Chain A
Amino acid sequence: QSVLTQPPSVSGAPGQRVTISCTGSSSNIGAGYDVHWFQQLPGAAPKLLIYGNNNRPSGVPDRFSGSKSATSASLTITGLQAEDEADYYCQSYDISLSGSEVFGGGTKLTVL
């Protein structure tokens, strides 16, 4: 059971907009810690998509955006493309149990 909760799967048609949620608690996201998002294509290493809640690294299309509010965060993908089909993970820091980096359980995005 992950400390950060994500929906197991989401789907959308090409061109549509999808949102992936990441629900935490007062000991992680709610405590003010940054949320980062990673994209993992099949058989590949995770790739940084969003850092510091809503910042895109160089080279990441502006179709990807992040937000954070209270104890949750969200990743939104607009103009969905076939190559966006992948697993997506949120990541933050948790101050309970002596402190720990924590990942969400991951969300499989299917492009219909």
Chain B
Amino acid sequence: QITLKESGPTLVKPTQTLTLTCSFSGFSLSSNGVGVGWIRQPPGKALEWLALIYWDDDKRYSPSLKSRLTITKDSPKNQVVLTMTNMDPVDTATYFCAHREVYGGHDYFDYWGQGTLVTVSS
């Protein structure tokens, strides 16, 4: 059974750096074809993909946020960490992590965490 859970601060100040951790179980990020991604959703708005890391440490970032994002993995600990620098009130959102795996040529987010709401305010 695959589960993921996001953790981190609920409130950050403008210009600060946000660090979020995705802790997961039921799969290994050392296994061929496996990845974990981060997606966010501002209140009342659409989903926005942020970053993705694969078992082989291949890292992908949203082009519009690439300069502010870093994604890393700790496979033995079953964790993926996302950092976002220079936080702004527009970054207020629920942040989700999600499992990704290649199945029969298809590659998609199939299991999601519950999400964690991060508010950016002074």
Contacts and interface: CB of A to CB of B under 8 A. Distances in A.
Contacts of A34: 106-108
Contacts of B113: 45
Specify the main secondary structure of chain B where it touches its partner: strand
Size band of the interface chain B makes with A: 20 to 34
Contacts of A101: 37, 49, 52, 60, 62
B25 to A, nearest CB: 16
Interface string A21-52: 00000000000001010100000011110011
A3 to B, nearest CB: 10
Interface of B: 37, 39, 46-49, 52, 60, 62-63, 66, 96, 103-115
Given A46-B47, A103-B49, 8 more contacts: A36-B109, A38-B109, A45-B112, A46-B112, A91-B49, A91-B108, A100-B49, A101-B37
